A and B are shown apart, each in its own frame.
Chain A
Amino acid sequence: MDTTQPQHTNRQYEEDLRELRAGLIKMGGLVESQIAEAVDALVNRDSEKAREIIGGDAEVNRMDIECDQRCLNLLALHQPAAGDLRFITTGLKITTDLERIGDNAVNICERALELNEEPQLKPYIDIPRMAQVAQSMVKDSIDAFMRNDTVLAQEVIDRDDVVDDLQHQIYRELLSYMAEDPRTIGCATKILFVSKYLERIADHATNIAEMVVFMVNGKNIKHMDKSKSTR
């Protein structure tokens, strides 16, 4: 939906679309902060905070259902077409990706709670870096959605490689710990899981960015060679 376009003649429709947009942006902001806090809870070994974030997932789930319901109402009551239709179907998909990002933040907290029970294997260096990139991807994908910005969306898609590389790096490092001392396997595997969750978060952000390109251009770039998706 192009925000520079004239408003709909039907004010209720206009209002419903605006509410859907606002709801998605709010949900995006919430999960984005959950990623940051989840990684903080892990790095600072703060179990209290981890539990708090796990408790906060109910709000994300509530917003997910609310956004779904708004999309369904819009489809049923207003027979949307063209850009509006693409905006609403994008909304339906984005909400699922956001909800999963929230779940991944919860997963990080669950592993953090387990890891905090044991002595720290090593200082976390690459995990926070990875989290930062993944979080920026989520933020930018939502900004791209907000502003119909396909250039920013493409940047998000391109950034996924950075996260994938970091994950591979973490994997190799942890592998060497485990090979050296099998007693580290328990902790190392959990940290490996955390890196996998962050990698999944980046994938969800990539999905959102791809949907933004579809929403704006009507062109589906999913499952394409990354290097030439929006161009």
Chain B
Amino acid sequence: MPDKLVTRNLSAFFGKVRGIKSIDLNFSANVVTAIIGPSGCGKSTLVRCLNRMHEVVPGAHAEGQVLLDGEDIYAPGVDAVQVRRRIGMVFQKPTPFPTMSIEDNVAAGLKLNGVGLNAAERDEVVERSLRQAALWEEVKDRLRKPGNSLSGGQQQRLCVARALAVKPEVLLMDEPCSALDPISTARIEELLLELKADYTIIIVTHNMQQAARTADYTAFMYTGDLIEFGETRQIFTNPTRRETEDYITGRFG
């Protein structure tokens, strides 16, 4: 698989504190890559650098390169909003716009991006996105109900649909299942396997079994460093680094 997203010597700072240190990682197209590691290791910071969300934090900045199809998203003149359209994100807690209807939630990204659509085109995008997020059958009869009328798992799939509506190329997911029950989690995981045919997916997770189940590749981070990166199967059966072994076998003190 060709590399869709590549980081070169990527460091992220909070003021003077360096949160992640000179990360070189290649994310292949159409695969799921998981990032695992203990709390505070820099997983979330890393993914937030991948679509320029990190710099939204006051005092934070990133150094190094993030190449999307070979082009640096941090190059001068690159529009961060455009980057975020191409690299979508789903967060830990479901974040639908609570008072907006289900369909308005899905179309919200398009509206914010200034994409003008007529009613038919809009309906089509809403349906396509909800189908891709495996939510259509459950909500098709109540598209005008508010987003927060859905269950937590449905809300998270609604957020996936919202992210997909703007047709991103890469989907970043920062612990998308941590607030969900096992059935909803299984739905999201199944969804990942379907979505990777069309998207490059990067998922941050605390749940190692989730990484093992869903990811083709896994990166292990610790105290801001990338410790090991490899095929998920290899990482979980025979990691090369002692730190990885200790972490995935539950030996971290």
Residues of A within 8 A of B (CB): 5-10, 13, 78-86, 218
> Given A6-B251, A6-B253 in contact, is the A81-B246 Cβ separation under 8 Å?
no
A76 shortest CB reach to chain B, Å:
13
The majority secondary structure among interface residues of chain B is: helix
B249 touches A81 (CB 8 A): yes
B237 touches A9 (CB 8 A): no
A85 touches B237 (CB 8 A): yes
A83: chain B residues at CB < 8 Å are: 245, 249
**Docked complex: B218-253 residues within 8 A CB-CB of A:** 235-239, 244-246, 248-253
B235: chain A residues at CB < 8 Å are: 82
A222 shortest CB reach to chain B, Å:
16
7 pairs from A and B in contact (CB 8 Å cutoff): A6-B253, A8-B251, A80-B249, A81-B248, A82-B236, A82-B248, A82-B249
A151 shortest CB reach to chain B, Å:
20
Identity of the chain B residue whose Cβ is nearest the Cβ of A7 in the assembled complex? B251
Identity of the chain A residue whose Cβ is nearest the Cβ of B240 in the assembled complex? A218
Partner of B246 from the list A5, A79, A85 (CB cut-off 8 Å) is: A5
B250: chain A residues at CB < 8 Å are: 8-10, 13, 78
B252: chain A residues at CB < 8 Å are: 9
> Given A5-B246, A6-B246 in contact, is the A82-B238 Cβ separation under 8 Å?
yes
**B209 in contact (CB, < 8 A):** yes
Assembled-state Cα–Cα distance A188/B253 (Å): 62
B209 touches A79 (CB 8 A): yes
B208 touches A81 (CB 8 A): yes
> Given A79-B209, A81-B208, A81-B212 in contact, is the A218-B249 Cβ separation under 8 Å?
no
A80: chain B residues at CB < 8 Å are: 249
A86 touches B251 (CB 8 A): no
A27 shortest CB reach to chain B, Å:
24
B209: chain A residues at CB < 8 Å are: 79
A8: chain B residues at CB < 8 Å are: 249-251
Interface centre among B208, B238, B252, B253 (most CB of A within 10 A): B238
B248: chain A residues at CB < 8 Å are: 81-82
Q: Which 5 A-B pairs have the closest CB atoms?
A: A218-B238, A81-B248, A84-B249, A81-B236, A6-B251
A13: chain B residues at CB < 8 Å are: 250
A132 shortest CB reach to chain B, Å:
36
B87 shortest CB reach to chain A, Å:
30
Identity of the chain A residue whose Cβ is nearest the Cβ of B244 in the assembled complex? A82
B246: chain A residues at CB < 8 Å are: 5-6
A9 touches B212 (CB 8 A): no
B249: chain A residues at CB < 8 Å are: 8, 80-84
A82 touches B245 (CB 8 A): yes
Identity of the chain B residue whose Cβ is nearest the Cβ of A84 in the assembled complex? B249
Interface centre among B208, B244, B251 (most CB of A within 10 A): B251
Besides A8-B251, A81-B237, A81-B249, 7 new A-B residue pairs in contact (Cβ under 8 A), listed by A number: A5-B251, A6-B253, A8-B249, A79-B208, A81-B208, A81-B236, A218-B238
B238: chain A residues at CB < 8 Å are: 82, 86, 218
A218: chain B residues at CB < 8 Å are: 237-238
A10 shortest CB reach to chain B, Å:
6
B236 touches A9 (CB 8 A): no
Assembled-state Cα–Cα distance A84/B247 (Å): 12
A84: chain B residues at CB < 8 Å are: 249
Assembled-state Cα–Cα distance A82/B233 (Å): 10
Assembled-state Cα–Cα distance A218/B230 (Å): 15
A10: chain B residues at CB < 8 Å are: 250
> Given A81-B212, A82-B236, A82-B238 in contact, is the A9-B251 Cβ separation under 8 Å?
yes
B26 shortest CB reach to chain A, Å:
23
Assembled-state Cα–Cα distance A76/B244 (Å): 22
B209 shortest CB reach to chain A, Å:
5
